[in-house]
């Protein structure tokens, strides 16, 4: 009996060790321990006219309104529904692992962000932890906003606080098991001050702006970047706007090497590349208000990145692409 007891104990120990090793080597312990996070503080971002104007620019670049503002997708450029700026919406996307709701960010105290503190909002935007401590589902691109400077995030919040409060109650997000646990690996705290990028360093500034504004052109897997695909497109975007795949922005023949600065500015502001219209999920309706100097910096940066061969052609039927591991037009040509 004693012998059997020992063997059993050893078997149990071996199973525990194997399981620990398996967890450590695969998803890690975050799904069990909870996300990396920091406590919020009571800082307040002083509202100034400069911050308000700048915050609007950052919000237009970052595309917050694509998700937080209900829009009319039937019309070109997907204009906002009247009076609905940042009032949130139940996300109409297929294939999500549960119900995902983009919250009401207007200052309404009952149904919006009126009672959330400035630092709670800053933490949500850059670090992926909601005002209530919950892990935010990473369709909200907080990993792309992680590098947002302290001044930019303060400006965004000052701008959001300036919007008319809209009473718009929404259901809560509810992510299914096991994705609700797996997403806990994504949040990352900001623990150091994040200064602005030097405006004179156009390439670095372009890189900074592209990271915040052009994230859909970096395919991800389980909320993490897919190595080797930076700016090479391939994210499949499906919703009320149709089904399109983000374009390759690298200076390869399969990317946008044929662009010049004027083509780039026109594409971002009007949604036309020559005569070819872009799908309205490309937020040209917002980007037209982003300062020209910022768009030019993004273009200058994109000229300096390594070319990546990755053909994406939304006029062709979707086929499997072994490069980005998705189905998209011209996928079989990669
Ligand atoms: C691609 C869609 C998308 C974009 C773009 C986006 N968000 Fe979100 N955001 C969401 C969704 C969806 C949630 C809720 C996720 C959840 O409940 O887990 C969310 C959550 C949030 C929250 C958390 C609120 C809370 O519960 O505490 C804040 C704040 C927020 N977003 C602000 C912004 C700002 C500011 C921007 C632009 C800089 C932005 N979002 C861009 C989709 C988006």
- CA-136 nearest atom, ligand 1: 18
Alpha-carbon gap, residue 80 to 59, rounded angstroms: 14
Q: What is the percent of the chain with per-residue pLDDT over 70, rounded to a whole number?
A: 99
CA of 152 from ligand 1 middle (Å) equals: 16
Which ligand 1 atom sits closest to the C-alpha of 116? 27
Q: What is the number of the ligand 1 atom nearest to the C-alpha of 148? A: 38
Query: Comparing 221 with 111, which gets the higher pLDDT?
Result: 111
Q: Whose CA is nearest to atom 25 of ligand 1?
A: 130
Ligand 1 centroid to residue 125 C-alpha, Å: 7
Distance, in Å, from the CA atom of 116 to the CA atom of 246, rounded to the nearest integer, reads 34
Q: What does the pLDDT read at residue 3?
A: 86
**C-beta separation of 81 from 240 below 8 A:** no
48 CA to middle of ligand 1, Å? 24
pLDDT at 275 over 90: yes
How high is the pLDDT of residue 63? 96
When the pLDDT of each residue in the chain is averaged and rounded to a whole number, the result is 95
Query: Residue 69: its pLDDT value, please?
Result: 97
Query: Ligand 1 mean position to 105 CA, how many Å?
Result: 8
Q: What pLDDT sits at residue 93? A: 86
- Nearest residue by C-alpha to atom 40 in ligand 1: 64
Residue among 284, 282, 299, 293 at smallest CA distance from 54: 293
Residue from 45, 65, 67, 69 nearest 57 by CA? 65
Distances (CA, A) of 224 to 84, 182, 183: 31, 12, 10
Predicted pLDDT at 1: 66
At 17 the pLDDT is: 84
Query: Per-residue confidence at 223, pLDDT binned at 50, 70, 90?
Result: low
What whole-number distance in Å separates Cα of residue 120 and Cα of residue 132? Answer: 8
pLDDT digits (tens, 9 = 90+) for 70-127: 999 999 999 999 999 999 999 878 889 999 999 999 999 999 999 999 999 999 999 9
- Give pLDDT tens digits for 252-272: 999 999 999 999 999 999 999
The protein residue whose alpha carbon is closest to atom 32 in ligand 1 is 125
- In this predicted structure, what is the pLDDT of residue 13? 86
Question: Confidence band (pLDDT; 50, 70, 90) for 169?
Answer: very high
Residue with tokens 């609700």: 180
Q: Which atom of ligand 1 is nearest to the CA of 156?
A: 35
Q: How far is the CA of 259 from the centre of ligand 1 (A)?
A: 32
Mutational pocket test of ligand 1: of 55, 140, 184, 282, the residue with most ligand atoms within 8 Å of the beta carbon: 140
Q: Which one of 70, 121, 133, 136 would you pick to mutate in the ligand 1 pocket, going by the greatest count of ligand atoms within 8 A of its CB?
A: 136
Q: How far is the CA of 272 from the centre of ligand 1 (A)?
A: 28
pLDDT digits (tens, 9 = 90+) for 174-183: 999 999 999 9
Ligand 1 centroid–CA 39 distance in Å is 19
As a residue count, the chain comes to 334
Cα dihedral 259/327/128/202 (nearest 10): -10
Q: Residues near ligand 1 with C-beta < 6 Å?
A: 59, 62-64, 66-68, 91, 100-103, 105, 116, 121, 124-125, 130-131, 136-137, 139-141, 145, 156, 173
């Amino acid at each position: 009996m004693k012998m059997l007891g020992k063997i059993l104990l050893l078997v149990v120990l071996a199973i525990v060790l194997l399981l620990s090793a398996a967890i450590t080597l695969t998803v890690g312990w975050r799904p069990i321990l909870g996300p990396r996070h920091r406590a919020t503080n009571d800082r307040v971002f002083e509202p100034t006219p400069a911050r308000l104007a700048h915050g609007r620019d950052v919000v237009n670049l970052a595309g917050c309104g694509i998700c937080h503002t209900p829009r009319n997708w039937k019309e070109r450029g997907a204009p906002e529904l009247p009076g609905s700026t940042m009032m949130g919406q139940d996300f109409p996307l297929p294939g999500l692992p549960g119900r995902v709701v983009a919250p009401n960010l207007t200052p309404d105290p009952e149904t919006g962000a009126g009672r959330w503190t400035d630092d709670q909002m800053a933490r949500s935007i850059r670090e992926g932890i909601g005002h209530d401590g919950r892990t935010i589902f990473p369709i909200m691109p907080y990993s792309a906003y992680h590098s947002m400077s302290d001044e930019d995030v303060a400006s965004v919040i000052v701008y959001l606080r300036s919007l008319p409060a809209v009473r718009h109650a929404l259901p809560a997000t509810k992510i299914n098991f096991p994705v609700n646990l797996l997403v806990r690996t994504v949040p990352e705290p900001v623990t150091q001050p994040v200064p602005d990028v030097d405006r004179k360093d156009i390439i670095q500034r372009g890189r900074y702006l592209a990271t915040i504004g052009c994230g859909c052109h970096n395919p991800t897997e389980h909320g993490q970047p897919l190595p080797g695909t930076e700016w090479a497109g391939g994210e499949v975007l499906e919703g009320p706007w149709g089904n399109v795949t983000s374009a390759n922005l690298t200076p390869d023949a399969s990317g946008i090497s044929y662009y010049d600065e004027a083509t780039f500015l026109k594409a971002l502001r009007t949604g036309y590349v020559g005569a070819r219209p872009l799908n309205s999920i490309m937020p040209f309706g917002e980007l037209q208000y982003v300062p020209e100097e910022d768009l030019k910096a993004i273009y200058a940066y994109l000229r300096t990145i390594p070319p990546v061969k990755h053909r994406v052609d939304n006029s062709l039927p979707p086929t499997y692409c072994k490069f980005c591991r998705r189905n998209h037009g011209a996928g079989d040509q990669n």
